[in-house]
């Protein structure tokens, strides 16, 4: 809460190519030619830092395909390597990367993240995922992805071991005692009695330990999670310190946040200590008409044939012959749909609430999919954000600009000042760590992490 008693927003910038709209790269002023340069991503991070955002965030994937590569730039540089470079050109902004519990080992992940937390002086977060696609598994010596339950069982053990590894070399163990002791013994760099061999032998991992990097500045880099399934929500409730979510509208946001807060409480944790941050796509204009024009300009760049093919998958019927400038034809009710219901339910909600043309529907799905979209002026968007905060739909948002860098510049230069004026967002950083930005304490070792 602010000194005025108003709930404060949290914001992360989700960096994805040249924007989350799948046609953004086709715009004449896009930065598609710069996607292989560290300078491009550094500039985005510096814009986010100028706006006093909590963090930047990179998703990650472990596969590519010829079709996907032809359709647009879904790839980027490996995020942990990239964040290491970005950390040297920024001062306060948090740095969050996705880490796959299916493809990393605990020791490798713990070492990378601890090193990056030291390099950035305490600004790192990790978004734990189990990954999804067989194509990813096939790049790691597997024929297909393990079953859902197996992946989440592995993720539970993965998180547990990583946390214990970070406690295996406490910072206070470093002595740097250069002098010989009175009995003539050599000096000691480390008090080895304080280091812990885990000797962990579990269902998925065997790890001796200790880690070869001292305990990170934050104790534990901040753990993000995006729990959607039952197992995912339970893992997030037990472990996550911030949660990414998908919520098309305030009702969905309120429903998800309420469910997660109940699960967090049942896990014996304080629900107010975990920020829940749905994705948010914004089109910002000085007038509503200008904002709508920005949205329309990107939608008109969509390759219609490819987009209709994708829509056909979502709705379980052939949409290739639909008139893109006509209203969306009537679709079966959710109860009568036999395919994956999550995305189909989102399609039905968009149709019901927005009554879009086919082209407009394609644009909504192309920019953020099922995530909330706000189109309007800085004042109207700030008011919508306030509504979500006050009505229990969110503790903040994972910003998904449809185009980059313009989308985040518009948000930082126009929406952020409006939220600051209303007392809803910080005007200066009050801390130098990501934990500090999120109001989290540095954790002490749990009983399972201390030596007997």
The span from the CA of 280 to the CA of 12, in Å, is 10
Task: Locate 194 and state its tokens.
Answer: 């304080």
**CB contact set of 380 (below 8 Å; sequence gap of 6+):** 288, 374
Residue 404 CA to residue 241 CA, distance in Å, equals 28
For 165-171, what is the mean pLDDT? 96
Q: What is the arithmetic mean of pLDDT over 82-87?
A: 98
Confidence of residue 349 (pLDDT cuts 50, 70, 90): confident
Write down the pLDDT at residue 304: 87
pLDDT of residue 5: 86
According to the model, what pLDDT value does residue 446 have?
A: 46
Question: Does residue 29 register a pLDDT over 50?
Answer: yes
CA–CA dist 404, 281 (Å, integer): 12
Tens-place pLDDT, residues 323-344: 999 999 999 998 888 876 767 8
What's the average model confidence in pLDDT over 280-295?
Answer: 97
Query: Does residue 2 register a pLDDT over 80?
Result: no
pLDDT computed for residue 112 by the predictor: 98
Indicate whether 352 pLDDT > 70: yes
Mean pLDDT of all residues belonging to the chain: 92
Say how far apart CA 370 and CA 343 lie, in whole Å: 7
Distances (CA, A) of 337 to 315, 343, 414: 8, 11, 42
* Segments of 70-204 assigned E as strands: 94-100, 124-129, 174-177, 188-190, 200-201
**pLDDT of amino acid 451:** 41
* pLDDT tens figures, 30-76: 999 999 999 999 999 999 999 999 999 999 988 888 877 888 887 77
Most confident of 3-12, 171-180, 209-218, 441-450: 209-218
Contacts of 190 (CB under 8 A, 6+ apart): 173, 174, 175
* pLDDT at residue number 133: 85
What is the distance between the alpha carbons of residues 39 and 41, in angstroms, rounded to a whole number? Answer: 6
pLDDT reading at 227 higher than 80? no
Domains of the chain: 10-286+377-449 (3.20.20.30), 287-371 (no CATH)
Q: Does the pLDDT at position 181 exceed 70?
A: no
- Tell me how far the alpha carbon of residue 101 is from its chain's centroid: 15
Neighbours of 417 (CB within 10 A): 15
What does the pLDDT average to over 78-90? 98
* Ramachandran quadrant class, 217 (left: phi over 0; alpha: psi -120 to 50; beta: rest): alpha
Q: What is the pLDDT of residues 421-436, one digit of tens each?
A: 999 999 999 999 999 9
Residue 368: pLDDT band by 50, 70, 90 thresholds? confident
Question: pLDDT at position 351, please?
Answer: 92
Helices (H) and strands (E) in the chain, counts: 16, 13
Q: How confident is the model at residue 182 (pLDDT cuts 50, 70, 90)?
A: low
pLDDT recorded at residue 346: 81
Residue 448 has pLDDT above 70, yes or no: no
Q: What is the pLDDT of residue 71?
A: 80
pTM of the model: 0.91
The H-or-E segment that residue 134 falls in is helix 134-137
Does residue 452 carry a pLDDT above 60? Answer: no
* Tokens, residue 328: 């969306």
Q: How far apart are CA 188 and CA 191, in angstroms?
A: 7
Tokens of 324: 């893109």
CA distance 339 to 372: 23
pLDDT band at 244 (very low <50, low <70, confident <90, very high): very high
CA 77, CA 95: separation in Å to the nearest integer?
15
Looking at residue 340, what is its pLDDT? 65
């Amino acid at each position: 809460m602010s000194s005025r008693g108003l709930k404060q927003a949290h914001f992360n910038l989700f960096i994805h190519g040249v924007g989350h709209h799948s046609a953004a790269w086709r715009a004449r002023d896009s930065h598609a030619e710069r996607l292989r340069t560290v300078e491009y991503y550094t500039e985005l991070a510096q814009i986010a830092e100028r706006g006093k955002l909590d963090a930047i965030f990179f998703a990650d994937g472990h596969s590519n395909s010829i079709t996907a590569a032809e359709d647009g730039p879904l790839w980027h540089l490996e995020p942990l390597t990239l964040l290491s470079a970005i950390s040297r050109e920024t001062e306060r902004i948090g740095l969050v990367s996705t880490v796959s519990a299916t493809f990393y080992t605990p020791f490798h992940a713990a070492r990378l993240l601890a090193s990056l937390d030291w390099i950035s002086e305490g600004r790192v977060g990790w978004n734990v995922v189990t990954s999804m696609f067989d194509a990813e598994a096939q790049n790691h010596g597997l024929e297909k992805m393990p079953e859902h339950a197996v992946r989440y069982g592995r993720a539970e053990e993965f998180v547990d071991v990583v946390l214990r590894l970070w406690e295996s070399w406490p910072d206070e163990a470093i002595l740097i005692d250069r002098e010989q002791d009175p009995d003539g013994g050599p000096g000691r760099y480390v008090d080895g009695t304080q280091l812990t061999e885990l000797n962990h032998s579990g269902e998925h991992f065997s790890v001796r330990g200790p880690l070869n990097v001292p305990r990170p500045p934050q104790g534990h880099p901040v753990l993000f999670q995006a729990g959607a399934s039952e197992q995912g929500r339970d893992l997030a409730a037990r472990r996550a310190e911030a949660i990414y979510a998908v919520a098309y509208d305030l009702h969905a946001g309120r429903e998800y946040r309420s469910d997660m807060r109940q699960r967090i409480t049942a896990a014996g944790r304080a629900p107010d200590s975990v920020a829940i941050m749905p994705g948010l796509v914004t089109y910002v204009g000085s007038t509503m008409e200008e904002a709508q024009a920005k949205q329309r300009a990107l939608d008109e760049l969509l390759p219609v044939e490819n987009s209709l093919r994708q829509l056909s998958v979502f709705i379980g019927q052939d949409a290739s012959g639909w008139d893109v400038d006509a209203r969306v034809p009537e679709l079966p009710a959710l109860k009568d749909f036999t395919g994956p219901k999550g995305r189909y339910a989102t399609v039905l909600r968009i149709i019901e609430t927005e009554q879009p043309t086919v082209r407009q529907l394609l644009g909504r799905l192309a920019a953020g999919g099922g995530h909330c979209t706000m189109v309007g002026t800085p004042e109207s968007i700030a008011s919508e954000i306030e509504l979500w905060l006050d009505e229990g739909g969110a503790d903040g948002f994972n910003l998904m600009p449809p185009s980059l860098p313009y989308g985040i510049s518009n948000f930082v230069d126009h929406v952020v000042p409006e939220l600051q004026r209303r007392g809803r967002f910080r005007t200066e950083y009050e801390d130098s760590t990501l934990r500090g930005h999120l109001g989290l304490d540095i954790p002490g070792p749990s009983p399972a992490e201390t030596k007997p």
